[in-house]
Amino acid sequence: MTQPQPLLRTLLLIDTERYSDRDDVQQGYLRRMLFGIVDRVLLSAGADQSLRRREDRGDAVMELIDPGVPLTDLLRALLNDVPAELRAVNRLAASSAQIRLRAVLATGFVHIDEFDGWVGTDLNNACRLLDGDPLRDALRERPDDYALCISESVHAGIVAHDHLGIPKEQFNPITVPTKNGPMDAWLYGPVPASLPAPRKAPASRPSTPAPPGLDFRGTNHGLVANHVQGDITFGGQGGLR
């Protein structure tokens, strides 16, 4: 049996809120809206059908996207096109057919086996971000219909560098509890009130202060050939030459 080879892919996961609360007719409508939104958004980012692979999860979709599609283009489309698509769809839909979405953008390696199954720790971690309470709470607390979370790899490689149209100041660090331990990620927009205070970036290491009461004076102070040049003052009292 040939072992499947890991493929580097961009991972996009999108899930529909409160899907199971709807009846069969409404669920069918929501699926059509979800697939249409995802197809149009990815096409606008340059990811046509030949550059991606879809897994249908009923109320959600998972997309494996070729790494040749720039992450900057994908992220801009998720920030701008998805909200616009949701507004266009929901303004014409009945209250019972409103669609609200959670999305995760990540990168990593995925195995595709002979059964067309997808296997990989990076994919599992993206699923945990999608199903985690922070992203669910964020969507629940927002008046709009969309919440987006990105992985540490996407933040470090793209968002942290302040690319045009990708406002890094609007991404906030979160920690997602999982059964395998906490995971760090980044949430676009305000952090839910239900979460603890956001984690902070590690502070820079402070420089070591000079010993108290020791002062080098003169234009060429220092040690040269084991001899001190310049004035040295101890505790502000007098000096040595």
Structure confidence at residue 232 (pLDDT): 47
Instruction: Give the pTM.
Output: 0.80
In the beta sheet, which residues pair with residue 231? Answer: 217
E-strand ranges in the chain read 6-16, 52-56, 60-65, 101-112, 118-119, 146-151, 171-176, 183-188, 214-224, 227-234, 237-240
Question: Rounded CA gap, 205 and 107, in Å?
Answer: 30
Question: Rounded CA gap, 19 and 59, in Å?
Answer: 6
In terms of Cα–Cα distance, which of 136, 118, 122 is closest to 176? Answer: 136
Q: 3-class DSSP state for residue 166?
A: coil
Question: Rounded CA gap, 236 and 184, in Å?
Answer: 51
Q: What is the pLDDT along the chain (241 residues), one digit of tens a residue?
A: 667 689 999 999 999 999 999 999 999 999 999 999 999 999 999 999 999 999 998 899 999 999 999 999 999 999 999 999 999 999 999 988 999 999 999 999 999 888 888 999 999 999 999 999 999 999 999 989 999 999 999 999 999 999 999 999 999 999 999 988 999 999 999 999 877 655 555 454 554 554 455 444 444 444 444 454 555 444 544 444 4
Assign a CATH topology to domain 6-188. Alpha-Beta Plaits (3.30.70)
Question: Rounded CA gap, 186 and 184, in Å?
Answer: 7
Q: Where are the domains of the chain?
A: 6-188, 207-241
Structure confidence at residue 1 (pLDDT): 60
